Structure 1
Amino acid sequence: MKRLLTLLGFPWTIRTRLSLLYAGAFFVAGVALIVAVYLYLGVVLDRQFSIRLVNDAAPTAEGQLGAPGVLPPRDLMDQADRVSVLVRQARLNTLDTMLMVSLALVGFLTILAGVIGWLVAGQALRPLRDITATARRVADRSLHERIALAGPNDEIKDLADTLDAMLERLDRSFDSQRRFIANASHELRTPLTITRTLIEVALLEAADDDKLRQLGTTLLAVNQRHEKLTDGLLTLAGSEQRAAELHPVELGEIARHVAAELTPIADRVAVRLGTTFGPGTVMGDAFLIERLLQNLIENAIQYNIPESGWVSVHTAQSGTSVELVVENTGPIVPAHEVPGLFEPFRRLAATDRLAGASRSPIARGAGLGLSIVRSVAHTHGGEVEATPREGGGLTVRVRFPAA
């Protein structure tokens, strides 16, 4: 039944199941009533119209009859026998007519019961549709909206009140997390910035002391790595908190801006950066999308080959989605290691083939780049996938729903 309704294009929902259940129960009850009336009417007709005619010369007509509607030969029946046969035939005709009319009425009323059941089920399930619609709006926008279902204190209202209480707790929890991220951004970044400034001042004053300059350079690199780690963790933690702040943004324009900023770095490490930007508008957070692009292109520049390396950045709209493709040359990546690259603190084991590793101005990260890319893509309702290139490197595709 479910497969048949699906093939006919009929929605197999709880409303459909309730309607079919109501119509089926009505049909079974109607058939049971018809059987009871049929048997009772047969007994009543036997009692009201039975004629017992006994002939001394011949047996009663009862038992000599053939099929219904077929009379025995006239020479075997007298007048009483003929009356008995006619009464019996009238009884059978009455029962057959009652049965056919009753079945037709039950069939019609079953269809009518299904329609009524469909309407009643729709009215009864309307609060559930309201709850579902509110839950979808809350999931897509913010946690501040509540269902606030009005009506009698039944099971559906109890469900709505329970969901409202859960949304209230989630709202408080997310507000607390947002406050923590804001405070952590200040409390973690400020000391690192002060430390970097002090190290840079010390390096300026230690122009003639090679050991002190070497120590300062090492400390500055460590501090820069800590800054990058802190920034990555805060971005990863805050990406899902900014899901409600979505506005129409041009993906190609953001990609062009990020590529222009990173082109000098690519030139410094002898990596050719090629770009092709097509139009494509998405609903997103410009800061997070810019961070996604920056992480992808920086990774593509850093994890490259020492000579004749290249990075390709491409954006275009395809149907109902806008696609970003970042492709690069680089070390060979086994296919089984690709899913692990999107996990936090995971990097390729081979790091000796980084493009200009000693000359690259990009501080080596902590393995959060692709984790941030995946988190930002999911926050915007998109998806990301990476596939190894033949000969080395990766092809990373990010698809966003078009605005």
Structure 2
Amino acid sequence: MKKMTIRTRLTLVVGGMLLVGGLVLLGITYLLVFQQLGDKAYISKSIDGPPAGVAGNLITNIQGEFRSDATQAVLTQGSIALAVVVVIGLAFSWLVAGRLLQPLHRVTETARRIAGAPDRGLHERIALTGPYDEVKELADTFDLMIARLDKSFDVQRRFIANASHELRTPLTLNRTLLEVSTDHPDAPTELRQLGRTLLAVNDRHERLIDGLLLLARSERAVAERSYVDLADVVAHVAALQQDADVKVTAVADEAPTTGNAVLLERLVHNLVENGVRHNVPAGGWVRVESGTRPDGAYVTVSNTGPVVPRYEIPNLFEPFRRLGPDRAASSGAGLGLSIVRAVATAHGGRVFADPRDGGGMTVTVILPTAESSEYPT
């Protein structure tokens, strides 16, 4: 049931007050007229004496009819006048309420635009003019809040850009030095073994930093969208995993959506890579599917693997959370499913997982469906 707006409630309150006040005024007028007519009849009888015979009865009847007609006219015409006043009052109060609430509509429209484009809309302000009242105070407070959020987002964007450069540079330099030392023909076996170990550690740190930076970027809503068929993404990612020890099969049915193609590819890649990494030692498989359902386009990734307790599943979508012994042994950074959830949320979708009987999981991502005709390629 749709709730009444403030404008409607204000109009009804004013109309109700007019109606109650008009009824009270009409009642008082009726009593005064009735009393006044009764007093005049009594005075007439006192001066002229009591009427006698047929003439007296006729005069009495005429006075009674006159008083009845007068009071009836007061009620009828007063009710009509009251109805006209209430209708005019309702119309006037509707216009006045709309005028008074116009600044609130401006605040709402600005907030809606900012919510629709958070990365670009934070630079917008209400800048409400007029007397300093409650609405002006609300608009100024909202502008102050948006200014602080805008500043915080700018700081975050600068931090991501600086961290991307400052953190990757020394790791790239370390990898180069280690590769040169390891590939040197005179390097002893112990040095080569140490170099390979350090290269593996360095590679894990690089993946960790890339994952953190991607997670920070993907948590913001996607402002610029393009048409993406998830079937193409599924087929491409599955083809890249054909050399893995785990068998990867794909059922790529058409699944149109909109968003950032790079982030959506990373979403599917993380799901498939996660299914390959957390699998059984031999005879394992990963199945990735795409398609459409009534609530949107979907990607589903199922795999064999260790038994996953249902109560542990929500924790797997948190950063740096792994299951059981994989906490220490896994070569991943513990950000795969966190990035999947962040990318899905940024695209207006959702993700959920269910444990499979016998081990492994089924992870499903649902995104809004798009019509290909709206995004010509």
The CA deviation string for residues 109-161 of structure 1, in whole angstroms up to 9 with x for no partner, is 43453344334323332332222222222222212222233445443333333
Shift in CA distance, 115/396, structure 1 to aligned 2, threshold 3 Å? farther
Say which is worse superposed, 133-142 or 203-212, in terms of deviation: 203-212
Alignment partner of 1:374 is 2:341? yes
Partner in structure 1 of residue 373 of structure 2: none
Aligned partners of 2:110, 2:39: CA distance in 1, in Å?
66
Aligned partners of 1:122, 1:375: CA distance in 2, in Å?
41
Partner in structure 1 of residue 318 of structure 2: 343
Q: CA deviation at 1:11?
A: 4.7
The CA deviation string for residues 247-303 of structure 1, in whole angstroms up to 9 with x for no partner, is 3333332333222223323xxx2x221212233333322222222122111111111
The CA deviation string for residues 308-330 of structure 1, in whole angstroms up to 9 with x for no partner, is 22212222233462222222222
Partner in structure 1 of residue 103 of structure 2: 127
Alignment partner of 1:211 is 2:190? yes
Aligned partners of 1:116, 1:254: CA distance in 2, in Å?
59
Partner in structure 1 of residue 23 of structure 2: 31
Picking from 21, 26, 32, the partner of 2:13 is: 21
Report if the CA contact (8 A) 1:382-1:398 is conserved.
Answer: yes
* Secondary structure in 2 matching 1:402: coil
Higher helix share: 2
Alignment partner of 1:384 is 2:351? yes
Q: CA deviation at 1:389?
A: 1.9
Alignment partner of 1:247 is 2:226? yes
Alignment partner of 1:316 is 2:291? yes
Report if the CA contact (8 A) 1:53-1:81 is conserved.
Answer: no
Aligned partners of 1:42, 1:167: CA distance in 2, in Å?
65
Partner in structure 2 of residue 41 of structure 1: 33
Shift in CA distance, 395/50, structure 1 to aligned 2, threshold 3 Å? farther
Report if the CA contact (8 A) 2:41-2:63 is conserved.
Answer: yes
Aligned partners of 2:315, 2:256: CA distance in 1, in Å?
30
User: Structure 2 counterpart of 1:83, which letter?
Assistant: I
Report if the CA contact (8 A) 1:199-1:220 is conserved.
Answer: yes
Aligned partners of 1:115, 1:399: CA distance in 2, in Å?
48
Aligned partners of 2:324, 2:262: CA distance in 1, in Å?
30
Q: CA deviation at 1:383?
A: 1.2
Shift in CA distance, 251/93, structure 1 to aligned 2, threshold 3 Å? same
Report if the CA contact (8 A) 2:229-2:254 is conserved.
Answer: yes
Partner in structure 1 of residue 262 of structure 2: 287
Shift in CA distance, 52/81, structure 1 to aligned 2, threshold 3 Å? farther
* Secondary structure in 2 matching 1:263: coil
Alignment partner of 1:102 is 2:78? yes
Partner in structure 1 of residue 160 of structure 2: 181
Shift in CA distance, 213/280, structure 1 to aligned 2, threshold 3 Å? same
Partner in structure 1 of residue 252 of structure 2: 277
Unpaired segments ≥5 residues, structure 1: 1-5, 55-59, 62-75, 358-362
Unpaired segments ≥5 residues, structure 2: 371-377
Aligned partners of 1:218, 1:23: CA distance in 2, in Å?
82
Report if the CA contact (8 A) 2:355-2:362 is conserved.
Answer: yes
Supply the RMSD in Å over aligned alpha carbons: 2.9
Shift in CA distance, 135/332, structure 1 to aligned 2, threshold 3 Å? same
Report if the CA contact (8 A) 1:331-1:350 is conserved.
Answer: no
Report if the CA contact (8 A) 2:181-2:187 is conserved.
Answer: no
Picking from 286, 290, 299, the partner of 2:274 is: 299
Shift in CA distance, 248/109, structure 1 to aligned 2, threshold 3 Å? farther
Shift in CA distance, 219/14, structure 1 to aligned 2, threshold 3 Å? same
Shift in CA distance, 390/136, structure 1 to aligned 2, threshold 3 Å? same
Report if the CA contact (8 A) 1:251-1:279 is conserved.
Answer: yes
Partner in structure 2 of residue 69 of structure 1: none
Report if the CA contact (8 A) 1:345-1:367 is conserved.
Answer: yes
Q: CA deviation at 1:390?
A: 2.3
TM-score relative to the length of structure 1: 0.80
Aligned partners of 1:109, 1:395: CA distance in 2, in Å?
67
Aligned partners of 1:278, 1:108: CA distance in 2, in Å?
66
Say which is worse superposed, 155-164 or 15-24, in terms of deviation: 155-164
Aligned partners of 1:254, 1:129: CA distance in 2, in Å?
42
Output aligned runs, 1:35-184, within 5 Å: 35-50=27-42, 53=45, 79-80=55-56, 83-84=59-60, 86-107=62-83, 109-141=85-117, 142=120, 143-184=122-163
Percent of residue pairs bearing the same amino acid type: 47
